[in-house]
Amino acid sequence: MTVKTWLETATQDAERRNLPGLRPLLESLARSTSALRSADWNADATGEPVRTSAPDAR
Amino acid sequence: MPASARTIAELARALRARETTAEASTTECLDRIAERNPAINAFITVLADQALAQARQADAELARGHDRGPLHGVPFSLKDIIDINGVATTAASRVRDGHVAADDAPVSARLRKAGAVFLGKANLHEFAFGTTNEDSAFGPVRHPLDPGRSPGGSSGGSAASILDGMAYASIGTDTGGSIRIPSAVCGLVGLKPSLGEIPVDGVVPLSTTMDHVGPLCRSVEDAGIIFDVLRGGQAPARQPRQVKGLRVGVLRGYFTSLLDPQVADAFERTCTSLTGSGALLHDVDIPHAGDIAPIYLHIVLAEAAAYHAKTLESHSDEYTPNVRIRLEMGRYILAEDYVRALRGRDVLIAEVDAALGGRDVLLLPSMGVPAIRLGAATVRIGAVEEPVRNVMLRLTQLFNVTGHPAITLPCAKTTDGLPIGAQLVGGRNGTDALLSAAAAVEALLSQNQGY
ipTM (interface predicted TM): 0.92
- Those residues with Cβ within 8 angstroms of residue B6's Cβ, 6 or more apart along the chain or in another chain: B14, B168, B218
Q: What is the C-alpha separation between B246 and B440, in angstroms, rounded?
A: 9
Test A36 with B291 for CB contact under 8 angstroms. Answer: yes
Question: From the candidates B329, B333, B390, which should be mutated to test the interface with A, based on the most A CB atoms within 10 A?
Answer: B329
What residues of B are annotated to the active site?
Answer: 79, 154, 178
Can you tell me whether residue B279 is helix, strand or coil?
Answer: coil
Test B340 with A36 for CB contact under 8 angstroms. Answer: yes
**Cβ-count burial of B261 within 10 angstroms (0-12 exposed, 13-18 middle, 19+ buried)?**
exposed
Of B321, B329, B343, nearest to A29 by CB-CB distance is B329
Which residues in chain A are closer than 8 Å to B328, comparing Cβ atoms? 14, 19, 22
To 5 degrees, how large is the angle CA B242–CA B245–CA B246? 70
B172-189 mean pLDDT: 98
The answer to whether B300 and B176 are in contact (CB under 8 A) is yes
Q: How confident is the model at residue B2 (pLDDT cuts 50, 70, 90)?
A: low
To 5 degrees, how large is the angle CA B421–CA B358–CA B365? 15
Test B325 with A21 for CB contact under 8 angstroms. Answer: yes
> Measured between CA atoms, how close is B319 to chain A, in angstroms?
14
Question: Residue B211: what are its φ and ψ, rounded to 5°?
Answer: -70, 135
B429-446 mean pLDDT: 96
Shortest CA distance from A21: residue in chain B: B325
A46-55 mean pLDDT: 58
pLDDT(B32) > 90: yes
Q: How confident is the model at residue B235 (pLDDT cuts 50, 70, 90)?
A: confident
Q: How confident is the model at residue B450 (pLDDT cuts 50, 70, 90)?
A: low
Test B293 with A32 for CB contact under 8 angstroms. Answer: yes
Q: How confident is the model at residue B5 (pLDDT cuts 50, 70, 90)?
A: confident
pLDDT at B423: 98
CA nearest to B432, candidates B255, B296, B233: B233
The answer to whether B357 and B350 are in contact (CB under 8 A) is no
pTM for the full predicted model: 0.96
pLDDT(A56) > 50: no
Q: What is the C-alpha separation between B268 and B259, in angstroms, rounded?
A: 11
pLDDT at B308: 98
State chain A's mean pLDDT as an integer: 86
Q: What is the C-alpha separation between B401 and B396, in angstroms, rounded?
A: 9
Test A33 with B326 for CB contact under 8 angstroms. Answer: no
CA nearest to B186, candidates B169, B203, B173, B174: B169
pLDDT(B422) > 50: yes
CA contacts within 13 A on the Cβ side of B316: 11
Percent of chain B with pLDDT over 70: 98
> Measured between CA atoms, how close is B332 to chain A, in angstroms?
7
Distances (CA, A) of B298 to A31, B97, B177, B323, B347: 12, 29, 16, 16, 15
- Cα B22 to chain centroid distance, Å, stands at 25
pLDDT at B175: 98
Test A6 with B332 for CB contact under 8 angstroms. Answer: yes
Q: What is the C-alpha separation between B129 and B109, in angstroms, rounded?
A: 25
| DSSP 8-class letter at B372 | P
Which residues in chain B are closer than 8 Å to A6, comparing Cβ atoms? 332, 334
> Measured between CA atoms, how close is B296 to chain A, in angstroms?
10
Which residues in chain B are closer than 8 Å to A27, comparing Cβ atoms? none
Test A39 with B291 for CB contact under 8 angstroms. Answer: yes
Test B321 with A21 for CB contact under 8 angstroms. Answer: yes
Which residues in chain B are closer than 8 Å to A25, comparing Cβ atoms? 325-326, 329
pLDDT(B252) > 80: yes
Strands (DSSP E) found in B108-165: 117-122
> Measured between CA atoms, how close is A48 to chain B, in angstroms?
16
> Measured between CA atoms, how close is B325 to chain A, in angstroms?
6
